[in-house]
Amino acid sequence: MTLPQANGRSIAAARLVALALGVLLISAAPAAAATPNPILYMTGTEYYSTGGKSFVRYQYDVLNKDQYPAAMFAPAPSLPPCGSNANSSRAWVDVFDSRGKRLYGFCALESPNNLGSIWFSEEEGTVPPSYVYIEINDRQTNTKYKSNLADTTM
């Protein structure tokens, strides 16, 4: 029994087809989605008292929180601690007023889902800043993701 002999031309053609298939496969693979900037919006207010004083908590959610990888909010003991918490998350979240004054921060959110529970508070009777934004600081990659300005009234 003899096998058909492949000539040089058919080998070259087969190589071309294989190359084209390879290129097709590579281009068809989904590109790693870039982490987006957070889309911040106000969800409400809450009133509470502590230390004999009354405060208003301004509450926010991040609309696209499900687009953040869980790894960004996992404990990162190899990175600098948050106060005495050596297991603070890889990414920290800070709340700022529209002029860049830091109002509050979160350093142990644990999960992207917890971006739905961002808040800052002011003493009751204090007029809050008109707009706030958040910044997610991925300390591992040294990348900051800044949100839109969100209202403080509804």
Partner 1 sequence: MNILKNAALVATAVVATAGLSAPAAAQATRTWVSGVGDDANPCSRTAPCKTFAGAISKTAVNGEINCLDPGGFGSVTITKSLAIVCDGVGGGILASLTNGVVVNAGDKDKVLLSGIDIHGGGNGKNGVRVLKAESVVIRNSVIQAFSTPSSRGISVEGPAAVTVSGSAIVNNTTGLSGQVVSAGNNLLAGNGSDGQFASTKAPQ
User: Where along the sequence are the contacts to partner 1 (CB under 8 A)?
Assistant: 44-47, 98-99, 125, 127, 129-131, 151-154
Tell the smallest beta-carbon distance from residue 125 to partner 1 (Å).
Answer: 8
Tell the smallest beta-carbon distance from residue 47 to partner 1 (Å).
Answer: 5
Give the N- to C-terminal CA distance of the chain in Å, as an integer: 84
Nearer to partner 1 among residue 62 and residue 132 (C-beta): 132
Tell the smallest beta-carbon distance from residue 116 to partner 1 (Å).
Answer: 18
What strands lie across the sheet with 118-123, from one edge to the other? 40-50, 53-62, 118-123
Closest listed residue to residue 37, CA positions, set 72, 68, 75, 69: 68
d(CA 145, CA 27): 28
Nearer to partner 1 among residue 47 and residue 86 (C-beta): 47
d(CA 108, CA 90): 8
Tell the smallest beta-carbon distance from residue 44 to partner 1 (Å).
Answer: 6
Nearer to partner 1 among residue 44 and residue 81 (C-beta): 44
Nearer to partner 1 among residue 4 and residue 125 (C-beta): 125
**Tokens in use for 61?**
């959610």
